[in-house]
Amino acid sequence: MKVRRVVVTGLGALTPLGNNVPDTWNGLINGVSGADTITRFDASKFKTQFACELKGFDPSKYFDRKEARKYDPYAQYGLAATEEAVKDAGINLETIDLDRVGVIFSSGIGGIQTFYEEIASYVKGDGTPRFSPFFIPKMISDITAGHISIKYGFRGPNFAIVSACASSANGMVDALNYIRWGKADMFVVGGSEAAINEPGVGGFNALHALSTRNDDPKTGSRPFDKDRDGFVIGEGSGVLFFEELEHALNRGAKIYAEVVGGGMSADAYHMTSPHPEGLGAMNSMRNAIQDAGLTLEDIDHINTHGTSTPLGDVAETTAIAKLFGEHAPKISINSTKSMTGHLLGAAGAVEAIATILAVKNDIVPPTINHVTDDPELPTGLNIVFNTAEKRTVNVALSNAFGFGGHNASVIFKKFAE
């Protein structure tokens, strides 16, 4: 069977740096932090009192009041970013075969805000079960994929992948393969998350996973720095339009990059901690490179998972150093989570967008907030600290790893017919 080529023809983003792709990219290349004191709720009693929230997102620009009540914030974010991606891809719903357009849309947690509000209301009540008829549909993690298909009439494969913070990256690998195998011509693929609330922040605090740098929120996310103390939770959505190459060329679509490989693996080690030697990360990256038919020396740039946690950053850089060996210092490495925070299930999609734009524009966004080198990290790596790096980026790899030991890597390449 001939393996079909897959390209990216549309992008959409709703992030702590901007409510669209251009604003997000501008923030990334200029090293802007999206972190600040939490406004969603009174966090004064929490160990962590800051996050990377969206700024100025207005649901009324996308939904009427009655419609908005049917969607948890995570679904609102996903639908908003999808609207940008569909427009960016130049999709004419009257001329494409809607049976051949699929949706894989992910969330690590789903409608946690809805779950929290409904349960809190019940507990505070008199015991009479008064739940919203939208409680379950708003909460479940697959519902945004369903809403996207309903809104646009996309009748191809439609589902959600849940693998914690690897969710939307796993979705991209599946979308790539479905198009390669001829199961669809186009896919909306991405993820969204809206967990900046009491249970979200409180739960990650209980795991000692979040930074507690409350006196200086904007420097809280500092991947690969010696004094990092945890990740900064973020919210928002990232959406990509994957398309079979000939289909895209026939309709005159603009092409951002080619999707050439995807790899997945499991740490098989611990519920929340990464394999200390980066074994799962190394296998995921190796699998993606082999899937793409590339060599280690072809990789110019890696957008790491790079969460700013003490264990995670060491494990991932160790994996890179071991896998790439002598080529490792030639790779420009960064973590855009230093600016966006960690968007959990949406992280893979948002960081894939950053990776694609690095390929398209030959600019690697920085890892901000670096002050002190960490002696625990492998030496000799080219981590792009504090200022963007201009260089030719022909091939780039994006990593996403999740609790449970889930690993996914996706490779993007400059498009050439």
Positions annotated as catalytic residues are: 165, 305, 342
The neighbouring-strand residues paired with 261 are: 411
The neighbouring-strand residues paired with 102 are: 187
The interaxial angle of helices 310-324 and 279-292, nearest 10 deg, is 40
DSSP tag of 101: E
Measured at the alpha carbon of residue 294, what is the angle toward residues 380 and 416, in degrees to the nearest 5? 110
Is residue 80 a contact partner of residue 236, using CB atoms and an 8 Å limit? no
Task: Say whether 316 sits in a helix, a strand or coil.
Answer: helix
- Using alpha carbons, select from 417, 371, 413, 392 the residue that is nearest to residue 176: 413
Q: What are phi and psi of 37, to 5 degrees?
A: -60, 140
CA dist., res. 320 & res. 307, Å (int): 15
CB atoms within 10 A of CB 380: 9
The neighbouring-strand residues paired with 210 are: 231
- Using alpha carbons, select from 298, 317, 301, 297 the residue that is nearest to residue 309: 317
User: Which stretches does DSSP call E strand in 194-231?
Assistant: none
- Using alpha carbons, select from 55, 37, 78, 53 the residue that is nearest to residue 196: 53
Is residue 252 a contact partner of residue 7, using CB atoms and an 8 Å limit? no
| Max CA pair span of the chain | 67
- Segment holding 395, helix H or strand E: strand 395-402
- Using alpha carbons, select from 242, 246, 216, 211 the residue that is nearest to residue 228: 211
- Using alpha carbons, select from 116, 74, 21, 38 the residue that is nearest to residue 235: 74
DSSP readout, 315-373? HHHHHHHHHHGGGGGGSEEE-THHHH-B-GGGHHHHHHHHHHHHHHHTEE--B----SB
